[in-house]
Structure formats: structure tokens, C-alpha cells
């Protein structure tokens, strides 16, 4: 018989740095899963992405077992990383705080393509450009 899904939880945690302390512990503790087991499995799965934010979708079953899927980093995080800025503009597209090249936009779109609701790379590029513009990051 198949396991019954009890809960699905989405978290955004720094890759390779999950600990049973908050925020992970406060979210997953009430679900009844083994926090240390989750943290070690997550850290092993994200060791190659160290320093990035790696969102994770955790599926918890009725027997307190779990599965998780690591997603790609958020688009805004990648744009800030490539533009080398701490945060986006407060005024959005009216004030630019940094810039990225067309090549970097294509690279970000390629990374994000599996998690975007875009059918091809061109649509993903448009999505990334729109996000960059709203953050006050100029595309050159």
C-alpha cells in the first residue's frame, strides 16, 4: 500500500547549512520528522551549491518518513549575485542600483528554466529581464 501524504512544506534554506535550530526546527518539529536526519540529507544534497539559497519542497508521510526536492535558487537571488549588489532598488525600475549583461540573463534563465512556467529559453529570458527591471537592475 502506498504511503499517505500528510503535509507538504516549502522552505528556503542556505545550501549546505541546514541545522535543527530555527527556522528549520520550528517549521519541521511539529510535523514530527527527524530533524537531524533531514538536515544531514539536505546538506549532502546541496553541498555543491554552498552559499546559495536552495528552496526545498518537503513531502511528509503518515509514518513520519519524508522526501524532499531541492529547487533552483530564487531569480532575485541569482540576479543580485550576478549584479554583485546586496539588495534591489527601493524605487524599482525608476532607480538602477546595478547592471547585468544579456549573457548573464541567459545564464540565469538557463538555471531557472526547470522551475519557471516558461516553455522555452526565450520566455524564461523575458521573465528574468522583467524581474531584474523591477529590482532596479539594468540589463545591458
**Cα separation, 85 vs 17, whole angstroms:** 22
Domain that holds residue 81: 75-139
What pLDDT shows up at residue 18?
81
> Which of 46, 70, 94 is the endpoint of a domain?
70
> Which tens digit of pLDDT belongs to each residue from 30-71?
888 888 888 888 888 888 888 788 888 988 888 888 888 888
Identify the pLDDT of residue 1.
53
Question: Taking residues 86-107, what's their average pLDDT?
Answer: 83
Last residue of a domain, one of 70, 99, 122: 70
The DSSP secondary structure of 16-36, one letter per residue, reads T---SSTTHHHHHGGGT--HH
Query: Do 88 and 136 meet the contact criterion of CB atoms below 8 Å apart?
Result: yes
SS3 letters for 73-118?
CCHHHHHHHHHCCCCCCCCHHHCCCEEECHHHHHHHHHHHHHHCCC
Average pLDDT, the chain: 84
Same structural domain for residues 121 and 82?
A: yes
Q: Helices 75-83 and 121-135, interaxial angle, to 10°?
A: 70
Q: Are residues 116 and 92 in the same domain?
A: yes
CA–CA dist 27, 85 (Å, integer): 30
| pLDDT number for residue 36 | 87
Asked if pLDDT for residue 105 goes beyond 60, the answer is yes
pLDDT at 5 over 70: yes
Full strand arrangement of the beta sheet holding 53-61: 5-14, 53-61, 66-70
- If one counts the domains in the chain, the total is 2
Which CATH number covers residue 112? 1.10.10.250
The reply to whether 80 and 135 lie within a common domain is yes
Give the CATH number of the domain where residue 35 resides: 3.30.1550.10
45 and 91 belong to one structural domain: no
**Same domain as 24, residue 60:** yes
Amino acid at each position: 500500500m502506498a504511503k499517505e501524504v500528510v503535509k507538504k512544506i516549502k522552505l528556503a534554506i542556505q545550501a549546505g547549512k541546514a541545522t535543527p535550530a530555527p527556522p528549520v526546527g520550528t517549521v519541521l518539529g511539529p510535523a514530527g520528522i527527524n530533524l537531524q536526519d533531514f538536515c544531514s540529507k539536505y546538506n549532502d544534497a546541496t553541498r555543491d551549491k554552498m552559499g546559495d539559497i536552495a528552496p526545498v519542497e518537503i513531502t511528509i508521510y503518515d509514518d513520519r518518513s519524508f522526501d524532499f526536492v531541492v529547487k533552483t535558487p530564487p531569480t532575485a537571488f541569482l540576479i543580485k549575485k550576478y549584479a554583485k549588489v546586496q539588495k534591489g532598488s527601493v524605487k524599482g525600475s525608476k532607480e538602477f542600483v546595478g547592471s547585468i549583461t544579456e549573457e548573464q540573463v541567459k545564464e540565469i534563465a538557463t538555471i531557472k528554466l526547470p522551475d519557471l512556467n516558461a516553455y522555452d529559453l526565450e520566455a524564461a529570458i523575458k521573465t528574468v529581464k522583467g524581474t531584474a527591471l523591477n529590482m532596479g537592475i539594468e540589463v545591458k
